[in-house]
Structure formats: C-alpha cells, structure tokens
Amino acid sequence: AINIPTIASGGISSITDLLSLLALEPMGVESAIVGRALYTGDISLTEANQAVGQGRWQDIPPNLGYSAFV
C-alpha cells in the first residue's frame, strides 16, 4: 500500500464537514483548507480546534499561503 498524505480542500463549510473528514484520517487525510468558511464566518478557528482537537492536524507549509488546523 502507498501512503500519500492528503489535504482536503473545497466544500468544507461546517464543523460537521470537518468531523466527517476525521473518519478519513486512516486513509491519509492529514489536514483541511477552510479559508472560505473562515472568511465567511461559517466556521470559527476556535470552534474548529475544539471540534477536531488542536494539534490533530499539522500546518500546511507556510509558503503555500494557506493555513490548516494546528
């Protein structure tokens, strides 16, 4: 089996979406991009960290211009 780290991107608009992604963690989903949801206020960073657990996912390299949960 090949283990390729995956970043979920697109269509994440609620805490429910983030919690659903946690089920995919064993398949390599390591982080999520939630920029629009943060910008529109659909998700707050505090709320997301509480839901998925701070430290659960790693940062996306900063040179990509995106932020994932830490």
Concatenated DSSP letters of 42-54: SS-HHHHHHHH-T
pLDDT tens string 43-63 = 988 888 888 875 555 444 444
pLDDT at 51: 81
Cα(46)–Cα(69) distance, rounded to whole angstroms?
10
pLDDT tens string 18-35 = 888 888 888 888 888 988
Q: Please name the helix (run of DSSP H) or strand (run of DSSP E) that holds residue 35, with its range, or none.
A: helix 35-40
Predicted TM-score of the model (pTM): 0.66
